[in-house]
Amino acid sequence: MSDTVNRQILLAEKPSGKLGLEHFKQTSSAPPSPRDGEVLLKVRYISLDAANRAWMHGATYRSAVEANTVMAGGGIAEVVDSKASGFAPGDIVFADTGWQDYAALPAKQLTKLPRIEPLSHLLSVFGIAGLTAYFGLLDVGKPKAGETVAVSAAAGSVGSIVGQIAKIKGCRVIGIAGGKDKCNWLTGELGFDAAVDYKDGATFKALRAAAPDGIDVYFDNVGGDILEACLSLMNLRGRIACCGAISQYDGVPSAHGPRGVPGLIVVKRLIMQGFIVMDFMDQRERAIADLQGWVASGRLKVQEDIIDGLENTPRALIGLLAGENRGKRMVRL
């Protein structure tokens, strides 16, 4: 390891408005040495997540990312040295590795994973994206066959899997996404019943046309105006699975949230529930078994958007927030 370099991307400064390349800087130093109870990891894939941007605002379900620290982020990594029992060189793990080539982390912060090919599936369909879609839809949204399910950020990593699982469960599925190409992909390739381009304006009108019988389950990835439009179309005893609020992450969050929420919830007896995928990890095996079965049978298509090179990670996150990606975006090192 003596001539090996550990490149790191730091958050140079917390953005007060939109995230830009100027908020990051790259440095390099020698890889860290693992201490007792730690494992040295070589990072193979870094997950790009909308939440990366939300962590810059302050503490959420995890501590905030601070200026002049390695940018936080989940990754798939290979153990190269171990001073912890239960881990050996060659093992594959998921961890908050951060945006860097190498990380030394305590064993208790690692999740050991099977070495499956392609490894990228451990971040997409069999990783946080697939599990968030699975538990958020089935355990929070609780759709029944014949019901109408709407999902926002529908061409993204979580949303594209949500819609496909809802189809597998016999639901009518409406995807909400930015742009005609993404909408055509949802209905043409992924089998959604309808797609609404929220960038085309008149989202409420288009949604009402796409959901003539109303919405029974809304899987909300975006919050803001789209949540407001879906709320108005919810059916009696509908369920809203609050997964994220990407419309509020980049820049200054809008001053007003969805209007008319309390009244609608009462009159329609809606259940609106937030969730974090980590809450369901004790049931991971059940989810992975189902997801593997659906992928193997061709009923669940895996869409990945892989970008090469650690140096491209900031650009990849900025692009994800702008809607460049289709499916799960990640950086391969």
The residues binding ligand NAP (CB under 6 A) are: 49-51, 128-129, 132, 153, 155-159, 177-179, 182, 198, 221-222, 226, 243-247, 275-277, 320-321, 323, 325, 329
**CB neighbours of 185 closer than 8 A, spacing ≥ 6?**
155, 326
Reference 227, options 267, 272, 192; nearest CA is 272
> Considering the complex, what minimum distance in angstroms separates the CB of residue 203 from ligand NAP?
10
Closer by beta carbon to ligand NAP, 183 or else 211: 183
> Considering the complex, what minimum distance in angstroms separates the CB of residue 139 from ligand NAP?
12
Distances (CA, A) of 169 to 66, 122, 139, 220, 242: 42, 23, 13, 19, 20
Distances (CA, A) of 287 to 135, 241, 306: 8, 17, 24
Distances (CA, A) of 154 to 32, 86, 94: 39, 39, 25
Tokens of 98: 């951060």
Closer by beta carbon to ligand NAP, 67 or else 278: 278
> Considering the complex, what minimum distance in angstroms separates the CB of residue 290 from ligand NAP?
18
DSSP structure class, residue 100 = B
Closer by beta carbon to ligand NAP, 8 or else 221: 221
Closer by beta carbon to ligand NAP, 171 or else 196: 196
Closer by beta carbon to ligand NAP, 40 or else 291: 291
> Considering the complex, what minimum distance in angstroms separates the CB of residue 326 from ligand NAP?
8
> Considering the complex, what minimum distance in angstroms separates the CB of residue 265 from ligand NAP?
20
> Considering the complex, what minimum distance in angstroms separates the CB of residue 131 from ligand NAP?
8
Reference 56, options 10, 106, 95, 110; nearest CA is 10
Residues paired with 38 in a beta bridge: 106
Measured CA to CA, the distance from residue 259 to residue 187 in angstroms comes to 30
> Considering the complex, what minimum distance in angstroms separates the CB of residue 155 from ligand NAP?
5
Three-class SS of residue 54? helix
Closer by beta carbon to ligand NAP, 68 or else 111: 111
Measured CA to CA, the distance from residue 165 to residue 198 in angstroms comes to 22
Closer by beta carbon to ligand NAP, 97 or else 221: 221
